[in-house]
Amino acid sequence: MTKEELQEWQDRLFKDQVEAAAALNAPLQTYRNWLKGRADVPKPVERLCVYVERYGVLDPAVKESR
């Protein structure tokens, strides 16, 4: 998953980086590093993005902005 694809995923599902990072159970700084291309998005996170888009967030405390 490229940083552009991650940004598009976020734009479709969440209103900000904080919500998107929480949906992936990732620290906010790590998520921002992925968005800026400083670190590659791990394959398990890429698969989790697909899951979240299809079925919703795993943690009910995280609200979706759909």
pLDDT averaged over 10-residue windows placed end to end, the chain, 66 residues: 97 96 96 98 97 85 57
Predicted confidence at residue 58, as pLDDT, reads 75
- Show Cβ contacts of residue 62 under 8 Å, excluding neighbours closer than 6 positions: 19, 22, 23
Question: What one-character DSSP code corresponds to residue 59?
Answer: S
Q: Are 24 and 52 in contact (CB under 8 A)?
A: yes
Q: Of 55, 64, 50, 53, whose CA–CA distance to 22 is shortest?
A: 64
| In contact, 20 and 28? CB cutoff 8 Å | no
For residue 63, what pLDDT is reported?
59
What's the pLDDT score for residue 4? 97
At residue 62, the pLDDT reads 60
